[in-house]
Amino acid sequence: MSTNPLLQISTLKDQAVPFDLIKTEHFIPAIHQAITESKQKIEILKNQKTITFENSILALEQISETVDRASGIYFNLFSAEASEELQKLAQEISPILSAFASDISLDSDVFAKIKFVYDTRAQLKLTGEDLKLTEKMYKDFVRNGALLNSDQKEKLRALDQELSVLSPQFSENVLKATNAFELWITDKNDLAGLPDGAIEAAAISAKQKNKDSQWLFTLQGPSLIPFMTYCSNRALREKMWRASSTKSFGGEFDNSETVLKIVRLKYQRAQILGFKDHAHYALEERMAQKPETVFAFIDKLLEPSKKAAAKDLDDLKTFRKETESNAKDADSDIKPWDIAYYSEKLKEQKYSFNEEELRPYFKLENVIEGVFEHAKRLYGITFKPVTGVPVYHPDVKTFEVFDSENNNDYVGLFYMDFFPRETKKGGAWMTSYREQGLWGSEIKRPHVSIVCNFTKPTPTTPSLLSYDEVTTLFHEFGHALHGLLSKCKYKSLSGTNVFWDFVELPSQIMENWAKEKEGLDLFARHYETNAPIPNDLVEKIKRAENFQKGWMSLRQLSFAWLDMSWYSTDPATIKNVDDFETKAGDKTRLLPKENGTNMSCSFSHIFGGGYSAGYYSYKWAEVLDADAFEFFKEKGLFNKDVANKFKNTVLSQGGTKHPMDLYKEFRGREPDANSLLKRDGLV
């Protein structure tokens, strides 16, 4: 144990994670040892004769720091750099952590200490973050079973044990199913329509598997998306689409039973805790508060979105019929694997540009400089590359962050990991290796990471991002700013520890700067000539901004509706994953559902992540960001007064106040729900 790096205080700069020393075999012993030490501290806490905020609430806030650190590193690697051996550990680590959490949350003696401080908070004159932490901890314990009787507690403990292994099992299956599919192209004619960069990347992928003069396409985003957008071979597009739309539905990595188990267990858990279903349980701690509010919100957006989406679909059908030279294809119904392909062609006809025209202006290194420059102009922070900090993969870059407007104070450590690999799950996310707040007796700055799956460089070109990848980088960087700029006292209140339907505001508002000429001018330069992006191309981007916005809005709403349907339905009435999904999707569907396909079995957000009964938060936060960004546009995109107000109310406050109070502090009023519909051209 004395040599286990997960149990030692790091000697690196700012106690950074010593990734170079950590091995898979370190995790289980470290977590066992850390839990043992935490339990010893809990016994000391329980034996305190005099109860104070410091020896109960604050002590519990800090009691599992070593456990949290070791498990946090493990689960971050599980998502970003997981060998088969490391993946397997999840089935052992998750139940251990779940049992430890239950040991604390269901201990009546521990809860008695919390309840005493909570009940006497007025007499103790608790204020500010001390009061907020007390209230949050009391509610967290209640929501995790502290008021249940002994039998109910044991049932809850058993449910939590089962659930603890299902989420990582779901994610592992999706990753393996993604990696298992390969589309090999041997005839160059089948590459017709594809951009040179996508063809070169596919050739490199094939060569890495010792196959020359062939091309390999996979279900990873940088391979799948260009293929579906540009490949003129309809049969191959269908093959790729069906592979993507059947991930973990049937076969070796089937998630059907896992989905049913998750919804059943979460339903039972919610009922034991006194809630109608998991949606009611989850939404108690969200801005929306109850399912009825979410369904009403979705319905408000659904009618205009579906109407606009139907027109978008009709436009595609008409365009396809007018332009398709193959009479058989022209007369056949449009299919899901046609949407991206014909959308791109229609956009090119309407606005005289296609997405590939933009790539040369979005060299990854330039876009990184761009988001850093945005952070500097808005919030006065700078990013400096740092050496001597170990990383978990050679692709990962590290930066120290400083406050240039406040004595160049240290803000935190920032990791960036951009390229896909077979050991990394798909998508993009922000995470932390150390939350900002009190660790021991010292308030420490955060260690934040963003992880993406972007277009990789090739021997002939650097990493040239699609416009969608650019906005994704801005989005995740917005999350990172929320973590980095936190100025809270306690970790559990800091950074992104806010209501789930508020956490997307800092990320989604950042996307807006990548849509404005003033923002693009800071980084969009041709990778060969260094020429700035032409004004006419920026104008085309702006004119095309609402192109097929109805279809995209309906797509997001369909995911939100499916999520809420899963978690607000009595699972006893659900016999089959696909039958349920098909019925739930009727309300939002415009194209017939294709037999044999299923989205739920790879819906990682709600079954492998934390968005259960929360996927609506993306649209909810779009309302907030549309309304908030209007303030910036009124005063100036880089107006320091507005930026400081956003920084000091939203970005730095974490969960120390109710999010609506924070928003009203920034905006001076509640958000206008029509802002999103207006921005998207849906009203």
Residues involved in catalysis = 476
Q: How many CA atoms lie within 13 A of 678 on its CB side?
A: 11
Q: Cβ atoms within 10 A of the Cβ of 526, count?
A: 15
Phi/psi of residue 223, nearest 5 degrees: -95, -45
For residues 457 and 464, what is the distance between their CA atoms, to the nearest angstrom? 7
> What pairing do the DSSP bridges indicate for beta strands 442-444 and 397-403?
unpaired
* 665-668-669 Cα angle (round to 5): 110
Report which residue type is found at 315. Answer: D
For every residue of 595-657, DSSP letters joined together read: TT--SGGG-HHHHTSS-TTTTTHHHHHHHHHHHHHHHHHHH-TT-HHHHHHHIIIIITTTTSS
Instruction: Write the CB contacts of 158 (distance below 8 Å, at least 6 apart in sequence).
Output: none
For residues 232 and 338, what is the distance between their CA atoms, to the nearest angstrom? 10
Contact 309, 317 (CB under 8 A): no
User: How many residues would you count in the chain?
Assistant: 683
Contact 313, 590 (CB under 8 A): yes
How many helices (H) does the chain have, and how many strands (E)? 28, 9
CA dihedral in degrees (555, 558, 563, 567; nearest 10)? Answer: 170
Closest by CA position to 228, among listed 213, 242, 208, 246: 242
If residue 134 lies in a helix (H) or strand (E), which one and from where to where?
A: helix 128-143
Instruction: Write the CB contacts of 118 (distance below 8 Å, at least 6 apart in sequence).
Output: 134, 135, 137, 138
b/e map 238-262, b = 16+ CB within 10 Å:
ebbbebbbbbbbeeebebbebbbbb
Report which residue type is found at 375. Answer: A
Instruction: Write the CB contacts of 507 (distance below 8 Å, at least 6 apart in sequence).
Output: 430, 475, 476, 477, 478, 479, 482, 621
Tokens of 670: 């509640």
If residue 179 lies in a helix (H) or strand (E), which one and from where to where?
A: helix 150-180
CA dihedral in degrees (517, 523, 526, 531; nearest 10)? Answer: 70
Contact 483, 448 (CB under 8 A): yes
Contact 135, 127 (CB under 8 A): no
Contact 595, 635 (CB under 8 A): no
* 234-237-238 Cα angle (round to 5): 90
Tokens of 266: 């979460």
Closest by CA position to 261, among listed 579, 577, 484: 577
